[in-house]
Structures are given as structure tokens and as C-alpha cells.
């Protein structure tokens, strides 16, 4: 069994427990009553046909306590305070891990962050059931993660359509040329290349540069994982990333706001060839 499949099995078990507390009908009603989602596509530099593209490199800053590959990263007793520092540093989107077993996240973290910031919020989880999408919207998410490796084509198309129906955007995560082709074929507007292979947890930071040009140029292109230092965001910027998702390096930073600001400025300069 791959690491990815093991995580998904745990996600399904935990989901069944939440369904006993809030059933399908109630979660749909809560999603309908939620404040409309913010436009994460625009916040990450996306533009409709004919509009000039934003040339800045945007930072998706992550609230992340631990990971299967690195173990404990940071305590984060107040996710809202951390998210506020990210926003002060210029983060365009705040990503919140809500998977509990391997990442130590929760929907309570999502609630706290949503209440504290005015930028779009990404629910970072392993989305495998329609219930989770209504749940994400009910808790104020503007953006959800769709992992191509975890979904067949029918589910990928169904979940992307449901995401848009609920007014949210999706970060559609890929790792191979075939996954990029599948993401583009279903009309994903925001496509990420994860330099971490979720089936093995190995990281190869060269993956983004090798695959980036396979993504249609009218999509928002996100580089995910592998950032340890300034040089890594400069590399992604120079390779044409529209946005960079950063977790570990930020939660370990002594000054998250300053680090976000430095990453955004350095990546944008690298993209411009300065």
C-alpha cells in the first residue's frame, strides 16, 4: 500500500465519524448559508481571456503542524495568529491542513484562520467524498485541493464541477506529465506541480522545471513543496511559477511575515530575470 492510499483510508474513517455529528442534509444547508467564497483564482494572478496577466509570484502560506515525512514541525497553538502574520507579509492565500492523523490539522484550525484573515483560504486535505466539499464551504474555505493521483477521471471531473458549483476554486495537484494532461483536460484553472511524490514522499525540486511547460499558459501554475531557503523560491520563480506553496520553511521561521515578504519579492524578481 502506498503512503497516499494509507492516508486516504484514514481520511475516510475520520469522515464517517464527522458524518455522525453533522449529517449530509445539515452540511449542505450550512454550506448554502456560508458567506460567498473569495476569488482565489484572481488572488493568485489568474485573469480571464483578454486581460493582462499579473507578473508577480504569489505565496500560498501554509499552517502546518507536522507531516508524514518530517514528523513534528511546529506547535502552532494559535493558527489565527500565524495566518495573520502570513497575511501581513503579503501572502495571497493561506493554506490550512485539516487532515488530523498525519498532519495534526483540524476544521477548527480552518475556522480560526478564516475568522482572522481577509485573503482566500485553502482547505488542504485529501478530498475523496462530496461531503468534504460542502464541509469545506460550510467552514469558509475558498479553495480546495484535488490530488489527481488520488482520483480517477470521472471523480476528478465531478469534484471540480462541484467545487465550482459551490463558488470555490480548486488547486489541482499533479506530479507527472500524464496527471498534468488529465488536470488540463477537465478544465482545471489552477494547476500545481508537487515536487513531493505522495506515493513515496520523496522530494525532487527539479520536478517543477521539468513539467511546468506542459501546463497550458492560461492556467495559474503553482510550485508545491521543496522550499527550504530563498534560493528555492528564486528557482521556482525563474522557471515561471505564478505561485509557490510553502509550509515547513514558514512554520519554522522566526519571523513568518518577513519570510513571506522576502520569498515573494525574491521569486518575483527571479521571474522577471532580475
The active-site residue, picked from 169, 197, 225, 253, is 225
Output the nine-digit C-alpha cell for 240. 515561471
The active-site residue, picked from 173, 179, 212, 253, is 173
129 in catalytic set: no
The active-site residue, picked from 87, 135, 179, 224, is 224
248 in catalytic set: no
The active-site residue, picked from 62, 87, 99, 248, is 62
The active-site residue, picked from 124, 169, 189, 248, is 124
225 in catalytic set: yes
13 in catalytic set: no
The active-site residue, picked from 61, 64, 84, 212, is 64
CB burial of 234-271 (b: ≥16 within 10 Å; e: otherwise) equals: bbbbbbbbbbbbbbbbbbebeebbebbbbbbbbbbebb
78 in catalytic set: no
The dihedral sign for the CA sequence 105, 108, 114, 115:
negative
64 in catalytic set: yes
The active-site residue, picked from 84, 194, 197, 253, is 194
Cα–Cα distance measured from residue 135 to residue 14, given in angstroms and rounded to the nearest whole number: 13
173 in catalytic set: yes
Residues marked as catalytic:
62, 64, 124, 173, 194, 224-225
Amino acid at each position: 500500500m502506498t503512503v497516499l492510499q494509507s492516508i486516504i483510508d484514514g481520511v475516510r474513517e475520520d469522515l464517517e465519524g464527522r458524518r455522525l455529528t453533522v449529517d449530509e442534509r445539515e452540511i449542505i444547508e450550512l454550506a448554502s448559508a456560508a458567506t460567498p467564497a473569495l476569488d482565489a483564482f484572481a488572488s493568485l494572478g489568474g485573469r480571464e481571456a483578454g486581460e493582462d496577466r499579473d507578473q508577480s509570484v504569489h505565496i500560498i502560506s501554509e499552517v502546518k503542524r507536522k507531516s508524514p515525512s518530517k514528523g513534528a514541525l511546529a506547535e502552532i497553538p494559535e493558527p489565527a495568529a500565524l495566518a495573520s502574520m502570513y497575511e501581513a507579509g503579503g501572502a495571497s492565500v493561506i493554506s490550512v491542513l485539516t487532515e488530523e492523523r498525519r498532519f495534526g490539522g483540524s476544521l477548527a484550525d480552518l475556522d480560526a484562520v478564516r475568522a482572522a484573515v481577509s485573503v482566500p483560504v485553502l482547505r488542504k486535505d485529501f478530498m475523496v467524498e462530496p461531503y468534504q466539499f460542502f464541509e469545506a464551504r460550510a467552514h469558509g474555505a475558498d479553495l480546495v485541493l484535488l490530488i489527481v493521483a488520488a482520483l480517477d477521471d470521472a471523480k476528478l471531473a465531478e469534484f471540480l464541477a462541484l467545487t465550482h458549483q459551490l463558488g470555490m476554486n480548486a488547486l489541482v495537484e499533479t506530479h507527472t506529465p500524464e496527471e498534468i494532461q488529465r488536470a488540463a483536460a477537465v478544465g482545471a484553472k489552477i494547476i500545481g506541480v508537487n515536487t513531493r511524490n505522495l506515493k513515496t514522499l520523496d522530494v525532487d525540486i527539479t520536478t517543477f522545471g521539468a513539467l511546468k511547460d506542459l501546463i497550458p499558459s492560461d492556467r495559474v501554475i503553482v510550485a508545491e513543496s521543496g522550499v527550504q531557503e530563498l534560493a528555492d523560491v528564486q528557482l521556482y520563480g525563474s522557471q515561471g511559477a505564478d505561485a509557490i506553496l510553502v509550509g515547513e520553511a514558514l512554520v519554522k521561521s522566526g519571523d513568518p511575515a518577513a519570510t513571506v515578504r522576502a520569498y515573494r519579492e525574491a521569486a518575483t524578481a527571479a521571474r522577471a530575470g532580475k
